Amino acid sequence: MSATERWAELLNGWAIPDQILAMAATSPWEHAVATFEVADLPDRTLLSARVAGDIVPPGGSVLDVGCGGGRAATALVPPASHVIGVDANAEMLDAFATAARRLGASSETIFGTWPVAEAKTPPADVVVCHHVAYNVAAIKPFVAALIAHARVGVVVVLPVVHPMSCWNRAWAHFWKLERPVGPTSDDFVAVLDGLGVSAERWEMDRPDQSGPAVGPRARAADACRRLCLDPNRLDEVMEYLDTDEPDWVRTDTVLRWTVPAPSDTLC
């Protein structure tokens, strides 16, 4: 089995059984826009921002794939002066444009999923992609499209393990359902290796805004959504979390590589 096949097989294991998903009040996979909005001043001190900022030319452009509210791209303004956001959530794109405007950067937004949206997406000096890889089973065309749109390099950030793995014990408790362990960022690196991509690698603490909801009721409400539980079970979930706090994923892997020469092709 190739690394790309293994990646797809492991990710497919995260599918929630239909009979459980049908009981969900809201989608367990969706995120609130407010969770991804950019603060007045983005955190340019993060390792991920410094790794990407090192290869953005002065006045250059950044393409943010799965941009959310624009944290990854706006942390690169400056040196970047133009940012492009791709996302399948129109409200996220509005937040992206607002953040760019507040920082004095020009922006462009493209609605759609990657790589479906690549045909209508312009290239940029640097392509960044934060916390998206675990949503993509067909990883080879996804990575190929990132590379095809970068003039200088690509930076991908993903948790060291699947971010939903922190809920595995809770799935077992409430649904008697065993959840997967992989894939991991090591599996993603294996995918890159199989595609002939040699990436530099760093590990960093996940920023605070990537952490769990604040406050016991907010954490329990988030757990109900993630676990497809009826919100009426909020008190029960709060009691459970008092004795078994999820293992929040605290570490991100940062990967950076330069684009291949024109004569190079993906395997």
> What is the amino acid identity at position 254?
V
pLDDT in tens, 188-229: 999 999 999 999 999 999 886 554 556 788 889 889 999 999
Give Cβ neighbours of residue 20 (< 8 Å, ≥ 6 apart).
175, 177, 228
Asked whether 113 and 93 are in contact (CB, 8 A), the reply is: no
- pLDDT category at 37 given cuts 50, 70, 90 is low
Domain locations in the chain?
A: 3-21+29-163+180-212+248-258
Length of the chain: 267
Return the residue matching tokens 């077992």: 172
Q: Which helix (H) or strand (E) holds 12?
A: helix 3-12
* Mean pLDDT calculated for residue range 14-32: 87
Q: Coil, strand or helix: which one is 220?
A: helix
CATH code given to domain 3-21+29-163+180-212+248-258: 3.40.50.150
d(CA 19, CA 137): 22
pTM for the structure as a whole? 0.91
- pLDDT category at 263 given cuts 50, 70, 90 is very low
| Residue that wins the pLDDT comparison between 29 and 69 | 69
d(CA 66, CA 61): 16
How deeply is 47 buried, as exposed, middle or buried, from its count of CB atoms within 10 A (0-12, 13-18, 19+)? middle
